[in-house]
Structure 1
Amino acid sequence: MAHVWRMIAQRLALGFLTLFVVSLLIFGATELLPGDFAEAILGQSATPETIAAIRRDLGLDQPFYTRYVSWLGGVLQGDFGNSLANQKPVIELISKRLGNTLFLALYAAAMAVPLSLTLGILAALFRNSIFDRMSNALALTSISFPEFFVAYILILWFAQTGYFPSIVRLSDGISFGETLYRCFLPALTLTLVVTAHMMRMTRAALINLLASPYIEMARLKGMSPMRVILRHALPNALAPIINVVALNLAYLITGVVVVEVVFVYPGLGQLMVDSVSRRDIPVVQAVALIFASAYVLLNLTADVLSTLSNPRLMHRR
């Protein structure tokens, strides 16, 4: 286990280094956004004197490196600053939105992971059958469509017929079942987008192992094909499957921007789009950094779980 802890420490160090570089890129990219926040506030009544006064009050007149060091120091202490649009703490704006985004991601993952693993196992079990060909064709079709197209198709089929709402409205008083009902269409959109990739990876990993000698020995002993896959092939195929599942879970958190905008879902993606349109730079920086942190953390989790699921990596000689 010593090498596992060493690997975790190395991955954490690389993760922090990656986040530092990402934070620098995020802070620099927000500086390139067109327009000026002070001019947007003042509108047609903007004068050079008033613009300079607002920029001075907000600290926008300071050099880039000074503002970056100040912002990074606040982030390390859990302070993302104040929103330029409404002067509220950024952490207050993103706390509830973060919970909504995580709920949507977990909702989609609860549907996508079991569905993709089941379809992948069945496709490997009935390789080259009609089911295998149809599932692969549907998987390639769903991968080819962008998220907004899938979302609008689902709205056309389910929302306009009155089965599910096309706009997600969440409030504190609704029940858990009502929340699941209102969030079903955006969760289904994310499920259709990520299921195909996980299903095809599961199928490919299992098929690569089915030609192994120990699989042939299990078949010669008279084991059923399903038992051979579940007991012998699947445990040894967990490493690539875990990797692809973790990457798709990272996408469910970081790639929800388009889906949230289509369904007007009150999550971090919608908040980020609104903040970009208003040039609310601290909010944009905070949301982007949260997305990057989630991606790095899930990649670290995938590396650790892949190592733990592989006996050759756990017991080195």
Structure 2
Amino acid sequence: MLYFSKGNIAYASGVNSQSKEFIQRIERNLGLDKPLLTQYKIWLFKALKGDFGVSLLSGESVVKMIKERLFNTLILSLSALSILFVLSIILAFVEYHFKNSFIEKMIAFITFNFFALPPLVLALLFILVFGIFWNFSSWIDFSDDNFLNQLKHLILPILVLVLSHLAIYLRIVKNFIHESFSQIFIQNLYARALRQREIDCLVLRYSLGSIIAYFGSTALSFIMGAYIVESVFNYSGLGSLLLESIIFKDFPVVLALLFLSVLSAAFFTFLSDMIARALNPKLRKFSFA
């Protein structure tokens, strides 16, 4: 899809009125005039050896560019995912204990309204509300190198990621929690007059493995959502780098980032599965296809 798109590395200088001869000369110098499969074969053989090439835009090593931004993306993604994990569990228990009440309906109403907005739209709305209407411009300017200020700048991107995914994650976690409460051994605990807090802890322990497994299986979609949010907030992470590379068809960077994203998703899926099985060796097999 990127190969057949209209973008071109020749327009990276910002001049749109380039002659065809100039564009062809640049493509020939960079080897972009070769057939698609030939270009991909050359890149793949080098990538298998650990050589991801250099950026067509900057001439820098692709590995070096990724290393410079990887930490920022991990901070944003893991922070948002951790908050999402804890918040989903808390709200799932709240909804269970307040079934068919106003509280449950309000939680569903609020979360699904945020879920109805794509992360791109929600990020733009947050910039409009907080940056323009409420004049919290310091939350959006990422140019400050101070660590504490950078933490403040993460508030809006994390909020966008959490709110845009909360409804679906809450629904899945709620299903696991409610199913655990319906188990016979949990019902027997009520007959033994255990306190509700103790029963909740046992239910959480029983369902935690399945919840972790689900979060790991959705890692790739969450990472892609984080990339979009990064590009909107001009956050110096892999997302803004990926968007810029797609616009100008910087093939080495795009392919390396996609390769890294899929590899990371496979790693988190494997890790979550191992953690889930360690927590519950008799964990049932769920299909998240």
TM-score surpassing 0.5? yes
CA drift of 1:194 comes to 2.2
Alignment correspondent of 1:238: 208
SS in 2 for 1:206: helix
Alignment correspondent of 1:184: 155
Q: Cα 1:194–1:36, aligned 2, differ >3 Å: closer, same or farther?
A: closer
Which residue identity lines up with residue 254 of structure 1 in the other structure? M
CA drift of 1:313 comes to 5.0
Alignment correspondent of 1:34: 6
Alignment correspondent of 1:58: 30
Partners in 2 of 1:307 and 1:120 — Cα distance? 22
CA drift of 1:40 comes to 6.7
Partners in 2 of 1:61 and 1:153 — Cα distance? 41
CA drift of 1:302 comes to 2.9
- 1:262 paired to 2:232: yes
Alignment correspondent of 1:17: none
Q: Cα 1:240–1:164, aligned 2, differ >3 Å: closer, same or farther?
A: farther
Alignment correspondent of 1:123: 95
Q: What runs of 5+ residues in structure 1 fail to find an aligned partner?
A: 1-28
* Alignment RMSD: 2.6
Alignment correspondent of 2:248: 278
Alignment correspondent of 1:46: 19
- 1:194 paired to 2:148: no
Q: Normalising by structure 1, report the TM-score.
A: 0.78
Partners in 2 of 1:309 and 1:279 — Cα distance? 45
Q: Cα 1:124–1:282, aligned 2, differ >3 Å: closer, same or farther?
A: same
Q: Cα 1:191–1:220, aligned 2, differ >3 Å: closer, same or farther?
A: same
Amino-acid identity (%): 28
8 Å contact from structure 2 (residues 55, 253) kept in 1 = yes
| 1:80-91 → structure 2 map (5 Å cutoff) | 80-91=52-63
CA drift of 1:153 comes to 3.1
Partners in 1 of 2:20 and 2:223 — Cα distance? 42
CA drift of 1:51 comes to 4.8
SS in 2 for 1:151: helix
Number of residue pairs aligned between Structure 1 and Structure 2: 282
Partners in 2 of 1:63 and 1:30 — Cα distance? 14
Alignment correspondent of 1:18: none
CA drift of 1:219 comes to 0.2
Partners in 1 of 2:51 and 2:77 — Cα distance? 25
8 Å contact from structure 2 (residues 230, 236) kept in 1 = yes
Residue by residue over 1:212-252, the C-alpha shift from the partner in whole angstroms, topping out at 9 and shown as x without a partner, is 22112100100122321212x22221233113322454434
Partners in 2 of 1:224 and 1:131 — Cα distance? 23
Q: Cα 1:248–1:125, aligned 2, differ >3 Å: closer, same or farther?
A: farther
Q: What runs of 5+ residues in structure 2 fail to find an aligned partner?
A: 285-289
Alignment correspondent of 1:227: 198
8 Å contact from structure 1 (residues 148, 259) kept in 2 = yes
Partners in 1 of 2:223 and 2:84 — Cα distance? 14
SS in 1 for 2:138: coil
Residue by residue over 1:278-317, the C-alpha shift from the partner in whole angstroms, topping out at 9 and shown as x without a partner, is 2222222222222222222222223333333333259xxx
CA drift of 1:271 comes to 1.3
